[in-house]
Structure 1
Amino acid sequence: MGNGRTGDGTPRYPDAERLALVEERHGLAVRDPYRWLEDGADPRTDAWLRAQEELYAASRPAWRVDHWRTALASLHAVDLYSPPLTRAGRSFFSRQLAGEEHPTLMVASHGQDRPLVKPEDLDPTGLTVLDAWRPSAEGDLLAYQLSSDGTEESRLWVMDIATRRVLDGPIDRVRRSSVAWLPGGTHFYYVRRLPPGPHPGEERYHRRVFLHRVGSHPDEDIMIFGEGRDRAQFYTVSVTADGRWLSVAATQGTDRNTDVWLADLTAGPWHAPALRPVQEGVRGHTRLRVAPDAVADPPIWLRTTRGAPYGRVMTATPATAGGEWRELIAERPGSVLTDFAVLTGARLPRPLGLLSWVRHAVSEITVHDLTDGTQIGTVPLPGAGSTGGLAVSRDGGHEAWFSYSDHLTPWTVLHYDGLTGTTRSWHPQRSVVAAAGARTRHVAFRSADGTTVRMFVVSPEGRPDRPRPAVLTGYGGFGAPVVPTYSPEALAWVRAGGVWAVACLRGGGEEGEEWHHAGRGANKQNVFDDFAAAADHLVEAGWTSRDRLGIAGGSNGGLLVGAAVTQHPEKYAAAVCMSPLLDMVRYELHGLGPSWRPEYGSADDPGELRTLLSYSPYHRVRAGTEYPAVLFTAAEADTRVDPLHARKMCAALQHASPGPGPVLLRHERDVGHGDRALSRTVALQADCLAFLAAHLGLRV
């Protein structure tokens, strides 16, 4: 396999055999010339990958990577905390101080902070991450989950918090399971996959809810829910602070509709809870809160999109939850309800509800009297940014904690006092990022069908002063909102003189559940049209020009980039496509693909196959087309989006494109789709920005 350059200066790509493979699916001819690259264990694939790594290594020295690595390391050098979880006078939180590779799980009591789980101590290589954790109701035990090498395949342990002695574990096949402790800390409910034996090739599915006794072998755990249900269902479990009420929620893959069940644990044994449906088989995303009240029929509050696509709060009791719900806080058209928390402290004259909303991607938190739902105020925020999940004391009280960020402000934890209505910083911030040199502007434009779409544009002047090298990014899927958050990549790019734009596309959750449905399944093309319209707006408004416009996205955003490159290659000068989904005919056969059928559809359905083929980037590559410069990034241990997508698409574009822009693959062998060590994050981001800068003319 030869690398280097041809006589006309275009790259000489590694040889990749093109198969004359054509399959007929529902009367359609589906070509797949690089099927062999799906097999990561094939020696031919390994040889091809090593040749791609050599080509990448030979191309990289011209990109000024060191500059970007230094700039990004400086912007990442901030202290990061999570909101605390309180248990019996102890506060548990994660903390990652500037320069540390991973967050450390901490416990605070009697004015002292103490580390409990520090991944860097457990694995000096930096390849182990803390996936999830949950303290017991009494605050004396901790269930925590770790995974290694990027696989996200968590294993669960139980620790005695006073001594840090491991009491139980590892329990495998949990993958960031929710954990619901029962009183006394002897048992907890959790979610675990079945052993792979009976279901070859389906090792990442077949989840069940189990009851585990601390110290026992996991094979002795008692299954309490999930038998006979669809293999791709996901479950979450929770138990109220008093240990009385168990709730189980189920979703079909990544579908946002939820089924919810509730059981009174005082009415029967823990190992056989009488779960009764609260919501089942209807359209609506629902989460419930049970009042921390030791009464026979306590209030239940339900945050739901059932009958209200923007979200509202309903109320019921355990006796009526399966039927009659009463509206407490109405839907606010245009504002999406994203979280709900309850303050019930003895010093409060009545219970308070905190509701987190997103309006056109900007957050607001309102305060309500839960006796009648009346809004009585708002929670002060530092600016027009984003808030994370609301955390309140499990034992009740008048305090709440939440994270806040915007494009120029790193994530910080704020404390809200329900007695005074004031907000303050919860922890000292030793490191401060200067926001000078960057301004954010919120703009609107029209998509191809006339729909109004919004976008955040971060630039040196806050206005289009001249065509600058610009990067456009987006996501547009799974109902996930793209909101203003701190981005070292964006700040580094803007400080170097560029423009960074983030489009809020259909398929996301910025404008409610109907916005999501307008960009999924048969409507997926709307997402790509919105993105193309965003690119056009940046050029027409004078922010940039075609020869200076690049695009970037990861995961579902990688699909977005792949579709943009193959549908409108003339609109872009460069593209970075990270951990992408690109072969939409065979995506269901790999990684977590079966979980995504509610979002994309299935190739097993004739109509849905036609939709998938209409935009599948891998199948839209056309020989002789001049595509922009493209950098693919892939992680070999990715268990969500199989790296085969990047491999096949890279080979297809290298064969098809006459240049001059290179098509390159950045391949990592020991990381995955999710969390990684900070130094690995900086290295990846630096390479991507350096590639974009080299091809968009951003001089540093």
Structure 2
Amino acid sequence: MKYAIPLLTVALLTACAEAPAPAETDAAQSNLTYPETRKGDVVDTYFGRQVADPYRWLEDDRSAETGAWVKAQNELTFSYLEQIPYRDSIRERLQDSWNFERLGAPFKEGDYTYFYRNDGLQNQFVLYRQKDDGEPEVFLDPNTFSADGTTSMASLSFSRDGSLAAYAISEGGSDWRKIIVIDVETGEQIGDVLEDIKFSGINWVGNEGFYYSSYDKPDGSALSAMTEQHKLYFHRLGTPQSEDQVVFGEKPEEIHRYVGASVTRDDRYLLVSASVSTSGNKLFIKDLENPEAGFTAIVETPSHDVSLLTAEGDTLYFLTNRDAPNRRVVMANAANPQPEHWQDVIPETNHVLRASTGAGYIFANYIVDAVAQVQQYDLEGNLVREIELPGVGSAGGFGGKADAEELFFSFANYTTPSSIYRFDPHTGESELFNRPETNFDPANYTSEQVFYTSQDGTRIPMIISYRNDLERDGTNPTILYGYGGFNISLTPSFSVANAVWMDMGGIYAVANIRGGGEYGKAWHDAGRQLNRQNVFDDFIAAGEYLIEENYTSSDKLAIRGGSNGGLLVAAVSTQRPDLFQVAIPAVGVLDMLRYHTFTAGAGWAYDYGTSEQSEEMFEYLLGYSPVHNVREGVNHPATMVTTADHDDRVVPAHSFKYAAELQAKDGGENPQLIRIDVNAGHGAGMPVSMVIDQAADVFSFILYNMGYSELPR
């Protein structure tokens, strides 16, 4: 069975001061001498229109000139941060707040029960195991994988009987992985380390071996060159990787950008998902008991999403948005698995459905105005019960083996640390299994949901969290966070950083803007391609609401987002620079004319469109692309772009080029800086020490540029 590694939920914006409000100063407004950034003469032509790309040379992550530019930019940024008098105090506060034990939900494999644990400040979670009521022992400790904690365990999967474990590691945050197989009793490695694996699961067949996915290593830079043809391989234990055969993805009709596998738990059927973008997939099935059998198409066109949820013998259960924009669960016989034979198990409702299975049941986890409601069904689709959750927030888990006697789920919101509950699937009773001991008391905080109106009249939800004694007098330092893309829903979660921010009198607001998945496919579609401006308008309207309702003011409003959210922050910064005081675009997609030419970026075209798609699409992208819309002489918000040198998801060239444009064209005195982590990637697996350092720097930058000269005592 496969298990996700616990991720530290971190908003890299924190605060570190008690009321009363600190003194304000103009110290943040100072002229900086930026490193010289050479302008080249590259010009591209799109549909007869010429577009200059003077910083194209920064796309070469292997050149000495780019390396020197990165070094010079970091020297400037860190010299600026070092002058902030309370930066070290913030870091100390973060370390103190982070230093508490965190546990993951236990799971059973073979003769052992496993669980993840972090004692507080460990860079990576440690995997423990124990037999029955025996003493826990360390099974895998990723903190020993590298001296600086930058090598992480990215995924883990056990063979059917639990006697073997395969785990993937990421070095320096890269999406390229290595897979190592060990004997769980002895800890000895089985066979060679598998290398150059990317965007892959580990799907066992008995104890024989497993399926994994990867691309051919590209010519040029492994961190930025395009990766187009994803292939599914089978690795048989005891054989070298060079002998692994391509199972799917080599024939012309099988070429796709993303290919993944599922194996039914009886090892009877292999299902392969194939897609060219991040939305929509084809689905194929193969009978593993018939060596001569080929693949049979279940869904032949990638117009919708469909995935295997579970299987009982020849009965397959799928989660899909085909003919159900909010998703439904259907079942079909493996002999006739095509859509015309599907039968509803859990029909579509007015709310977006996420689902998991365990103990022979299906758990329907609905998103209702961005918060969770969970219902338990049997495999025939009969409602067993609605599960009472500990409060209003997000619930996850409820997954496990079909014969499990108990399951576990987690619950959290913006003011409640993530806690684990033990759940009896037969009685519906739940009990607290673990609640972390922190210095944060949820009773002292409020998390309220409001609805505001966007420019076109659309009603948008937003959750605003703050300390109970906060006064809405328009002076509160506020962080507005958003994402708005790829059908991803921002549901309530707890982070140490946000807790510190609120504890110090700050407001943390999350807008559930269009482009996400909070209200199903229609909400997603309303924010993609030629509708992308809706996403920006929704976020701008959120900022205006916070000001109009006297939560904050423009000079106390910071915006933050990462990846697609980095695009959001940079785009609204160029469109409404007057509305925000500080902008923190993290690992953002910022060059919308060329994003699809790097790594797997072409797979994002469903959301963005491409500059070669049509003249209309080109003009639309050019109209909001942050790199191309930094205006000469405009006073932009104080900006600190953040990225990392090993980000091969959204390559750092996006951030490099945007920062260069800001430094060359900004007409005000606000700093326009870029902070580049070394030996780090898109964010997953980042060691705690690095997360804390970045959080301290980001928050110092925000407070300093809101005019705070000191932290109150």
Task: State the TM-score, normalized to the length of structure 1.
Answer: 0.92
Residue in 2 aligned with 1:425? 432
Tell me by how many angstroms 1:230 deviates. 6.8
Residue in 1 aligned with 2:5? none
AA aligned to 2:695 is Q
Asked if the contact 2:298/2:337 (under 8 Å) is kept, the reply is yes
Specify the SS of the correspondent of 2:83. Answer: helix
Quote the Cα distance in structure 1 between the aligned partners of 2:448 and 2:469: 6
Residue in 1 aligned with 2:342? 325
Residue in 2 aligned with 1:399? 406
Alignment pair present for 1:81 and 2:103? yes
Alignment pair present for 1:138 and 2:161? yes
Asked if the contact 1:458/1:490 (under 8 Å) is kept, the reply is no
Residue in 2 aligned with 1:683? 693
Quote the Cα distance in structure 1 between the aligned partners of 2:373 and 2:400: 17
Alignment pair present for 1:191 and 2:213? yes
Residue in 2 aligned with 1:252? 276
Q: Deviations over 1:572-595 (max 9, x none)?
A: 111111111111111112233122
Quote the Cα distance in structure 2 between the aligned partners of 1:177 and 1:81: 26
Alignment pair present for 1:289 and 2:300? no
Task: Rate the CA distance shift 1:402–1:175 in 2: closer, same or farther, 3 A.
Answer: farther
Quote the Cα distance in structure 2 between the aligned partners of 1:9 and 1:426: 52
- Aligned pairs (5 A) from 1:21-40: 21-40=42-61
- Aligned pairs (5 A) from 1:114-153: 114-153=137-176
Counterpart among 91, 95, 109 of residue 69 in structure 1: 91
> RMSD of the TM alignment (CA)?
2.3
Residue in 2 aligned with 1:479? 487
Specify the SS of the correspondent of 1:458. Answer: strand
Asked if the contact 1:337/1:358 (under 8 Å) is kept, the reply is yes
Tell me by how many angstroms 1:554 deviates. 1.2
Counterpart among 455, 459, 463 of residue 456 in structure 1: 463
- Aligned pairs (5 A) from 1:611-650: 611-650=620-659
- Aligned pairs (5 A) from 1:430-445: 431=438, 433-435=440-442, 437-445=444-452
Asked if the contact 1:581/1:587 (under 8 Å) is kept, the reply is yes
Alignment pair present for 1:276 and 2:300? no
Task: Rate the CA distance shift 1:174–1:45 in 2: closer, same or farther, 3 A.
Answer: closer
Tell me by how many angstroms 1:446 deviates. 0.5
Alignment pair present for 1:509 and 2:517? yes
Q: Which moved more, 1:530-539 or 1:496-505?
A: 496-505
Quote the Cα distance in structure 2 between the aligned partners of 1:273 and 1:79: 50
Q: Deviations over 1:268-296 (max 9, x none)?
A: 13xx6532222220522112234344xxx
Counting matched residue pairs gives 676
AA aligned to 1:277 is A
Quote the Cα distance in structure 2 between the aligned partners of 1:40 and 1:222: 33
Asked if the contact 1:441/1:463 (under 8 Å) is kept, the reply is no
Task: Rate the CA distance shift 1:369–1:668 in 2: closer, same or farther, 3 A.
Answer: closer
Quote the Cα distance in structure 1 between the aligned partners of 2:221 and 2:495: 41
Counterpart among 687, 701, 705 of residue 695 in structure 1: 705
Residue in 2 aligned with 1:349? none
Residue in 2 aligned with 1:415? 422
Specify the SS of the correspondent of 1:522. Answer: helix
AA aligned to 1:276 is T
Counterpart among 285, 288, 294 of residue 265 in structure 1: 288
Residue in 1 aligned with 2:68? 47
Residue in 2 aligned with 1:654? 663
Quote the Cα distance in structure 1 between the aligned partners of 2:59 and 2:218: 21
Tell me by how many angstroms 1:632 deviates. 0.9
Identity within the alignment, %: 31
Asked if the contact 2:275/2:302 (under 8 Å) is kept, the reply is no
Specify the SS of the correspondent of 2:568. Answer: helix
Q: Deviations over 1:1-55 (max 9, x none)?
A: xxxx99x942222222334543321122312222222223333333332222222
Asked if the contact 1:538/1:544 (under 8 Å) is kept, the reply is yes
Counterpart among 107, 126, 129 of residue 107 in structure 1: 129
Stretches of structure 1 lacking an aligned partner (at least 5 in a row): 345-351
Asked if the contact 1:206/1:230 (under 8 Å) is kept, the reply is no
Quote the Cα distance in structure 1 between the aligned partners of 2:519 and 2:347: 16
Task: Rate the CA distance shift 1:428–1:519 in 2: closer, same or farther, 3 A.
Answer: closer
Quote the Cα distance in structure 2 between the aligned partners of 1:530 and 1:189: 42
Q: Which moved more, 1:283-292 or 1:637-646?
A: 283-292
Task: Rate the CA distance shift 1:136–1:671 in 2: closer, same or farther, 3 A.
Answer: same
Residue in 2 aligned with 1:668? 677
Quote the Cα distance in structure 2 between the aligned partners of 1:534 and 1:562: 16
Task: Rate the CA distance shift 1:43–1:486 in 2: closer, same or farther, 3 A.
Answer: same
Q: Deviations over 1:276-331 (max 9, x none)?
A: 222220522112234344xxxx3222211110111111121112212311112221
Quote the Cα distance in structure 2 between the aligned partners of 1:209 and 1:354: 30
Q: Which moved more, 1:119-128 or 1:642-651?
A: 119-128
AA aligned to 2:647 is D
Residue in 1 aligned with 2:14? none
Counterpart among 312, 316, 329 of residue 300 in structure 1: 316
Tell me by how many angstroms 1:205 deviates. 3.7
Q: Which moved more, 1:192-201 or 1:120-129?
A: 192-201
Specify the SS of the correspondent of 1:392. Answer: coil
Task: Rate the CA distance shift 1:249–1:401 in 2: closer, same or farther, 3 A.
Answer: farther
